[in-house]
Amino acid sequence: MSMANRSMVTIDDLSNVEIEGLFSLADEMSQSMDKQTTVCQGRIMASLFFEPSTRTRLSFEAAMNRLGGRVISAVDIGATSLAKGESIADMARVAGSYADIIVIRHPWEGAARVVADYAGVPVINAGDGGHEHPTQTLCDLYTIKKERQTIKGLRIALSGDLKYGRTIHSLSYALARFGATILFHPCPGLEMPEHVLRKLTTRYKGKLKRYEALGSVSKKGLFPIDAVYMTPSSPHQLTMIPDISMQIELEKEVDALYVTRLQRERQAKMGEQGANEDYVVVNKELLKKKKFERTLVMHPLPRVDELAYEVDGDPRSMYFKQAARGVPVRMALLALLLGAKQVAASGEDDYSFVRQVDYPIYRRDSGLRCSNPKCVTNQESEIRYIKPAFKIVNLEPLILNCIYCEHELYPEYIATTDWHEGKLENKKYHSAGSNWTRRIKPDKLVIFDSEKEAQARGFKPSSYVIRNTES
């Protein structure tokens, strides 16, 4: 099964079967590393890093070189082309005419999608702001798969900064797709964002349980750190474990403990030391707990203080293996997308853990913009040519998903294209919260950011406009 000429912007761009095929190829390649030197001979990979990331870049470049391919590389180019006002679409087209495949890291969320749209060659997202970093997810999954043979049914605890860590969002989707149970153990104030949870439950059929603090005895500092999926100071923790007894759940083994770094840049904003003090620390003491007896200790690196050096020699520590396995995984991915290798067609895709949804796309010119200031669609140089577009993922309440950065929008005003045909007095807009939302067919829907915007386009308020303040 050929994967040639495809791009990988999010982890969802590969099916489960494709991911497993990629893992088989990575196995094969890592077992005969010195025989791969002609696989991508004559092919060029452009690594375009608009943000520094030595580790990820070197991993990709090592992978392409191991395949016998060549690399052209632009590091920290933010100051160069952008200063001249160039759009990333133009950059993508030009780079796509030099190279056979592009690896892109960019601070703007959704940027990799734009590059993939314009490059004309396969594009791999090596991180686009807080959006996705799908090859990190592949390395994580690959490590779990290699150590445990399967992912289905495993209990994986995610710990630390679950709010900003982009790797953790992708990973949670992927784990859900493969049928793992996920236990969330965020640092207080750094819980999984609601939109990630929503995607987990709607698209990936997850059953979420939110536990409140376990009674008054559990105070800050008293509650044992091994209660991985809950802490008293963060009441709205979530777990995707099935609806069974909490007590039993607490005793069960954890298959993998995935810790993320406390980002210093976030910490500063969150107010001094609070976050730091409460932050998880994985050390020898913690790993003595019975439930961690066979636990894989995972971390995307670089680490700061959340992972003690004393556990580096512990056989459960997987983080350096995770990094090392990035090379064969990326080799496999590059070879597949370049069409130099194919995945063995190993049967049908298993969608039992994924709900296939084709959301309607909203692409109308009604002034509606993504509300994420870091979204690629909101950047001065990109506004000239990118037309915003959204998936309508929910009607009551109305929720849109930017197709570039996947940020959620909750617009307040709607109208229909049908009603005002002929009769101008019918050209009215309504509150998105009113019944009208359900009554307008998605393909007739017009959505506005504000009443001002609606009026600017010739619509008048209907009686279904609910105002917060009626002064």
**Binding map of a copy of itself across residues 326-365, x = CB under 8 A, - = no contact:** xx--------------------------------------
Q: Which helix (H) or strand (E) holds 104?
A: strand 101-106
Q: Other CB atoms closer than 10 Å to residue 354's CB: what's the count?
A: 19
- Provide the 3-class DSSP secondary structure of residue 316: coil
Q: Which is nearer to a copy of itself, 34 or 251 (CB)?
A: 34
Question: Residue 261 in contact with residue 300, Cβ under 8 Å?
Answer: yes
Beta bridge partners of 211: 237
Single residue of 2, 4, 5, 97 touching a copy of itself by CB under 8 A = 97
Burial code (b: 16+ CB inside 10 Å, e: under 16) for 424-456 equals: eeebbbbbbbbebbeebeeeebbbbbebebbee
Q: Per CB under 8 A, does 316 bind a copy of itself?
A: no
- Shortest distance (Å) from residue 240 CB to a copy of itself: 29
- Shortest distance (Å) from residue 458 CB to a copy of itself: 25
CA distance to 76, 206, 208, 250, 254, per residue, from 244 (Å): 50, 14, 12, 11, 16
**What radius of gyration, in Å, describes the C-alpha atoms of the chain?**
24
Single residue of 23, 66, 105, 419 touching a copy of itself by CB under 8 A = 66
Say which DSSP state 234 is in. Answer: B
Phi, psi of 302 (to 5 degrees): -70, 150
Give the interface size with a copy of itself as a residue count (CB under 8 A): 52
Residues from 31 through 60 that contact a copy of itself (CB under 8 A): 34, 37, 41-42, 44, 46, 52-55, 57-59
What is the residue whose two structure tokens read 């709205």?
236
Single residue of 146, 198, 303, 460 touching a copy of itself by CB under 8 A = 303
**Prior bond of 315 cis (ω within 30°):** no
Q: Pick the stretch among 11-19, 91-99, 132-140, 286-294 that binds a copy of itself (CB under 8 A).
A: 91-99
Single residue of 86, 212, 277, 314 touching a copy of itself by CB under 8 A = 86
**Binding map of a copy of itself across residues 221-260, x = CB under 8 A, - = no contact:** ----------------------------------------
Phi, psi of 101 (to 5 degrees): -155, 145
Q: Per CB under 8 A, does 99 bind a copy of itself?
A: yes
Q: Which is nearer to a copy of itself, 127 or 411 (CB)?
A: 127
Terminal alpha carbon distance of the chain: 64
Question: Residue 64 in contact with residue 40, Cβ under 8 Å?
Answer: yes
- Shortest distance (Å) from residue 98 CB to a copy of itself: 4
**Amino acid letter, residue 396:** E
Question: What are the residues binding a copy of itself (CB under 8 A)?
Answer: 34, 37, 41-42, 44, 46, 52-55, 57-59, 61-62, 65-66, 70-75, 77, 79-81, 84-86, 90-91, 93-95, 97-99, 261, 264, 301-304, 309, 320, 323-324, 326-327, 384-385
